[in-house]
Amino acid sequence: MANNVTKAELVDYIAGKTGLTKLEVKAVVEGFLDGIKEAMRHGRRIEIRGFGIFSVKARRARIARNPRTGEKLPLGERFTPHFRPSDEFLAEVDQAIKARATTRSDTLL
């Protein structure tokens, strides 16, 4: 059972809801994602009220272990993208999943 939604499916959904062409929506979606990536590459935090916060988290340097050989491997500090959903978004998802569990519907989004 595939629960993933591709970018193409998202573009189709938005085009259907807005009346914009798929090409217009694709340009906006790609521009939106590029904007988030660009801001995060510069260590900026992106807050979308009612949705969540995109930020960059620092992961400290550590010593990892190869589970097969037991060899110790030094891992340097690295920075990873992080998303924290808003309380409002969390509540919407929780309610929708609970409602879907009682009334099964197959919708794209």
So where are the chain's domains? 1-43, 45-101
In this prediction, residues 81-99 reach a mean pLDDT of 96
How far CA 4 is from CA of 7, 9, 64, 71, in Å, comes to 10, 10, 31, 36
Cα–Cα distance, 42 to 9 (Å, whole number): 30
Domain covering 45-101 in this structure, CATH number: 4.10.520.10
What is the CATH topology of the domain spanning 1-43? HU Protein; Chain A (4.10.520)
Per residue in 14-64, pLDDT (tens digit) is: 999 999 999 999 999 999 999 999 999 999 999 999 999 999 999 999 999
pLDDT at 1 over 60: no
Per residue in 64-81, pLDDT (tens digit) is: 999 999 999 999 999 999
Confidence of residue 100 (pLDDT cuts 50, 70, 90): confident
How far CA 59 is from CA of 80, 81, 83, in Å, comes to 7, 11, 15
